[in-house]
Homo-oligomer: A and B are copies of this chain.
Amino acid sequence: MKTITEIRKDFPILNMKVNGKSLVYLDNAASSQKPVQALDAFCRFCESRYANVHRGVHTLGEHATTDYEAARTKVAEFVNAPSSKGIIFTRGTTESINLVAYAFGRRFVKHGQAILLTPMEHHANLVPWQLMAKSVGAELRFWPMKPDGTLDMEAGKKLLDSSVALVAITHVSNVLGTINPVREIALMAHQVGAKVLVDGAQAVPHMPVDLTEIDADFYAFSGHKMLGPTGIGVLWGRLDVLEDMEPFLTGGEMIKEVYLDHATWNDLPYKFEAGTPPISEAITLSAAISYLNDVGMEWVYSHTRALTSKAYELLSQEPGVTVYGPAVDRGPVVAFNVAGIHPHDLAALLDQEGVAIRAGHHCAQPLMRWLEVQATARASFYLYNTMEEIDVMMDAIRMAKKVLRVA
């Protein structure tokens, strides 16, 4: 087991000084930092095995293809996907969800049917459904939430009837930290014949995720939030559902035969991977997953849970601070506001102390309205954060209150 000091050494950026202070990076829900192991994997790959994949019969082409497909298997194992053929590399969660909205939604959701969402969805799991619903004449429903920011299961059940074609729901909220009972919801949804998409962008980086157990139809996540690079994400889909879908993006790689006037499609998962895929990103993501595996996802989960509890507690005790979301059983994200300080000012003042938090609507404007705020501050944790960093953050918050003369 690596110690936290050893882990921190693997992330060179954590040694940075920001405004003369040691960086305290608490914006992990927006994007995580990358360990040298991942950067090295990228460089090694580019310096010795790079070529385009699935095309060349030359040695580099073989190597690149082998590595790229090994990355697919690595991802499949990491989330215990029933089959690596259901792992489609995309650019990120956003593209993954759009793929489903276009290739599944616009084809299989019918006029008068409903999509069931929650008010805590990230825009990535809301706007694609708005457009899709409008284009086919479907209805959007929203699963009610309890005041603590968890789903009201009883109220939601009433909305989940046989007119629901799809339930699209986040696994972990990027604002409230709420962990939704996606396995239970998938079961309920399947009972009424609805398909289920889970937005796992905030879950896969932070807890062991078992796609076989959750048994949804689609599951989406991003590489850059789990120590991996930008430019890559994953859509996992059930093979039978993917088989029934037409392709989304088209071009090279995803075809079998092309004539001037028509074309036929390649097998899964290639049918959904048009053009040159994110090859070096897949290799880099694979190294990031190896890193997470070495540290252990159970450890990551309990470590960030401890950080979250401490932050939640200290913030709740701080005068003038409102904390949002459930008190327990939450992901490593704590959204809050300080009375009299606009979150942007708070973030800017914390930055003067080297503390990077995020401020804004966190791509969840409807949830902001539900919370009756314009914006919030948000601290989010990852495996390399320490208990001391939370103390630094709290000191910086007190400093900000002083600067802006808030009691």
Contacts and interface: CB of A to CB of B under 8 A. Distances in A.
A92 B276 contact: yes
Interface stretch (A53-61, A75-83, A333-341, A383-391): A53-61
- Chain A binding site: helix, strand, loop or mixed by DSSP? mixed
Chain A interface residue number, banded: 35 or more
Interface string A242-281: 0000010111110101111111000000000011111111
A292 to B, nearest CB: 17
Contacts of A231: 91, 229-232, 278-281
A94 B127 contact: no
Interface stretch (A162-170, A319-327, A352-360): A352-360
Contacts of A261: 130, 140
A142 B359 CA distance: 52
Interface in A354-375: 355-360, 363, 365-366, 369
A280 B284 CA distance: 12
20 contacts: A16-B48, A30-B52, A33-B46, A34-B50, A36-B47, A58-B348, A60-B356, A91-B95, A91-B275, A93-B251, A93-B275, A94-B275, A98-B249, A123-B255, A127-B250, A140-B260, A142-B260, A229-B281, A252-B363, A257-B365
Interface of A: 12-13, 16, 18-19, 23, 25, 27, 30-31, 33-34, 36, 39, 42-43, 46-48, 50-52, 55-61, 91-95, 97-98, 102, 119, 122-128, 130-131, 140, 142, 222, 224, 229-232, 247, 249-253, 255, 257-263, 274-281, 344, 347-348, 350-351, 355-360, 363, 365-366, 369
